[in-house]
Structure 1
């Protein structure tokens, strides 16, 4: 009897999973070639920005907490970022070696950075009256940066969305989710047809009013507008951002403020801040160049992309210190970019001493620090090293023991204090090597 009950539970779970997984027609899912192209980019800029920068508190989340709700909702009347320059933002991304840019067109506070016809709560009703999203889309095209858009699923400002304050457990009975979803689709249609984003970065999918049926409807709607638009995994109704599951609605996983795990099967992208807060905060502590470059290398070593966030100031400028730090990353990429762009991660799991990337017959070893006179790598079966050298430098001495472990000899001082890259040319395609534990 116990076995029979267990069987029924299993079948019930299986049928439920099967039903959820078929919400999306496989024929409309993003083509693999498009996703592969996205993953080849490896490095993008995230921008969190809006009227809340006038208070220096977190976007969306400080509404009703650090900033009273009524005050927060009226900040747009003061918002006049006269020093905003889309070309300068795109140029900053270009100089950093970033290949795509994602702007918070609409965050959880509901304020829209484009002139939408479906909400009065938008940039044209501020003092500034400039289409921020449109300006950035044009600038990205000019500087050969792929343009992407962040769009929230929840909207605490919209009266048709049942939750009006973060954490409220008593949904508004007068709200109408069907009307809300219609508005959402109308706004997204404006974004897709006007600005043609390469990718849509959804967020805010964890509150109870949002259901997978809505997500599937929106996904299908978007794919009819643009079959190739990439959609992250925060559209479906769940809070399991770091990984893809059998019922995920979306194309890739999105670990946040942490480096994702080595994953050669599913595409993923770590989103992380250059400082601590997503939106601008005065005197916010900024990451060192050491941290920035090694984060990028570890993400690529895990086979993921890095979406690195900056928060521009209330007047529209990015902080000079952030621009400088990003330029320093770009300078490093000019020397070592071949070990990041268009690579695969692995076959070794990244650690605090080194990470590995690979492309063709080349295996790149990113050395983060010199803890001893050598680094010993795990066994690489059925491979032969044809050549070993520093990227942009001379040869490196190595030996291989009977078990197949490779020991790389290190100089007293590494060529680059942030990340020195060793190239191992192999006699086989390095991308075909299985993950080595």
Structure 2
């Protein structure tokens, strides 16, 4: 499927939904864009694992604790002396991701606190995991394990760094800000040259002084130059838009509901299944029903989903989140035929009721609310339907005329999360 190219202004004007895309006003630089061929694996994958893990996991009050609690940089740096996870097992985590039905992954390699989760000569002050109590390169361990498990390997990286006063005053403290920028370029080069094939580069925090947008800070980061370097090292890497360049896909962040029409672009929703992005000992886990609803609302609108979990300081994913991932995996195994490798449509979604995905000459109707769906009446389908059945093979009677198609699923076949009806189109 060839995605329609839309300008930021054009796309913004057509968005009549709750989807909150990032960096629509980014620098365009079409020469950096991946081809449809290089994007296809990501479009087909649909579901990925995200995880936030670092020094902030020790604090246990969110990944913004250093800034929110005004912890001085030198005091915060002492946490590295305690960072020595004994139960971090990336092979086991990769297997869990596969059990959850995920096809790719994104590890937070360095958040806004500046602590690098790898051996980073480019890190200002060598603030990295090799010089912490752990004395380990966690990015290498992650990339090796997840790649060996057959998962796409992605790296999250934050260009900004709270340790630099120049981040907050880039004009007044230009020399200090330049040190931060130098660190960014050096570390991106390390991440894209030392760990084999990198499938996704996921930036975050390109804005300056916590204000404006990533695009507003493009004058400082020079994202075309930065991502030109990435393309030289990783020509097929899928890049998100948070560096000031518009990127290969758009991001929607958070657990707000998704409504509205199908988006004719590549986009991804990321959200955490826990309270915070990072570990909190008081963590509450989202109900499975809410997670699945958000996932399906994305899939029927052409989006991917990146689900975040929060390992504890010792490197283990809390048991409540492990249980939720396994439940998601059971759902994906049951319904994956109608999700993986599909595109959205042709029917526009009806908010909170139903939507469609498609693969070739097969349409998949996803119904979240069967009672409400039965009140809709005929579906306005132009395609001629040859056969109608559930994923378990059960035949479903249907009637089709010039107004559309009427489908009645027996109540005993209704599913609580997603009733999927397969419609075979006449060739």
Q: Say whether the fold is shared (TM-score over 0.5).
A: yes
1:229 aligns with 2:237: yes
Partner of 1:390: 390
Cα distance in 1 for residues equivalent to 2:368 and 2:297: 10
TM-aligned CA distance change 1:155 to 1:373, over 3 Å: closer
Please, what is the CA RMSD of the aligned residues?
2.3
Choose from 137, 141, 144 the match for 2:150: 144
1:284 aligns with 2:283: yes
SS for the counterpart of 2:154 is strand
SS for the counterpart of 1:281 is coil
TM-aligned CA distance change 1:350 to 1:225, over 3 Å: farther
Partner of 2:342: 343
Cα distance in 2 for residues equivalent to 1:307 and 1:103: 11
Cα distance in 2 for residues equivalent to 1:90 and 1:21: 33
Deviation at 1:110, TM superposition (A): 0.8
Cα distance in 1 for residues equivalent to 2:156 and 2:260: 24
Partner of 1:65: 68
Choose from 35, 52, 61 the match for 1:31: 35
Cα distance in 1 for residues equivalent to 2:360 and 2:61: 46
Structure number with higher relative contact order (C-alpha < 8 Å, ≥ 6 residues apart): 2
Choose from 84, 92, 95 the match for 1:91: 95
Cα distance in 2 for residues equivalent to 1:22 and 1:319: 39
**Alpha carbons 2:108, 2:156 under 8 Å: kept:** yes
Partner of 2:323: 324
Partner of 1:217: 225
Partner of 1:5: none
Partner of 2:309: 310
Partner of 2:269: 270
1:135 aligns with 2:138: no
Deviation at 1:262, TM superposition (A): 4.1
Deviations 1:316-375 (A, max 9, x none): 100111111111111121121011111001222252122211111111111213325825
TM-aligned CA distance change 1:289 to 1:393, over 3 Å: farther
**Alpha carbons 1:385, 1:426 under 8 Å: kept:** yes
Once the two structures are overlaid, the 10-residue window that deviates more, 290-299 or 106-115, is: 290-299
Deviation at 1:23, TM superposition (A): 6.9
**Alpha carbons 1:47, 1:311 under 8 Å: kept:** yes
TM-aligned CA distance change 1:22 to 1:319, over 3 Å: closer
Once the two structures are overlaid, the 10-residue window that deviates more, 255-264 or 72-81, is: 255-264
SS for the counterpart of 1:326 is helix
Partner of 1:3: none
TM-aligned CA distance change 1:174 to 1:298, over 3 Å: closer
Partner of 2:7: none
TM-aligned CA distance change 1:181 to 1:373, over 3 Å: closer
Which ranges of structure 1 fall in alignment gaps of 5 or more residues? 1-19, 237-247, 429-437
SS for the counterpart of 1:206 is coil
**Alpha carbons 1:35, 1:230 under 8 Å: kept:** yes
Deviations 1:175-220 (A, max 9, x none): 3444433321211111111123101000102226832461111011
Deviations 1:409-430 (A, max 9, x none): 13224443221211011125xx
Cα distance in 1 for residues equivalent to 2:391 and 2:264: 28
Partner of 1:256: 253
**Alpha carbons 1:302, 1:350 under 8 Å: kept:** no
Correspondence 1:96-245 to 2 at 5 A: 96-119=100-123, 120-157=126-163, 159=164, 162-163=166-167, 168=168, 173=173, 175-195=175-195, 196-207=197-208, 210-212=217-219, 214-236=222-244
Cα distance in 2 for residues equivalent to 1:28 and 1:365: 36
**Alpha carbons 2:353, 2:373 under 8 Å: kept:** no
Deviation at 1:156, TM superposition (A): 1.3
Deviation at 1:169, TM superposition (A): 6.3
Deviation at 1:256, TM superposition (A): 0.5
TM-score by length of 1: 0.83
Between structure 1 and structure 2, the one with the greater Rg is 1
Deviation at 1:88, TM superposition (A): 1.1
Cα distance in 1 for residues equivalent to 2:166 and 2:175: 5
Deviation at 1:403, TM superposition (A): 2.1
Deviation at 1:45, TM superposition (A): 0.4
Choose from 54, 73, 81 the match for 1:77: 81
Cα distance in 2 for residues equivalent to 1:377 and 1:169: 59
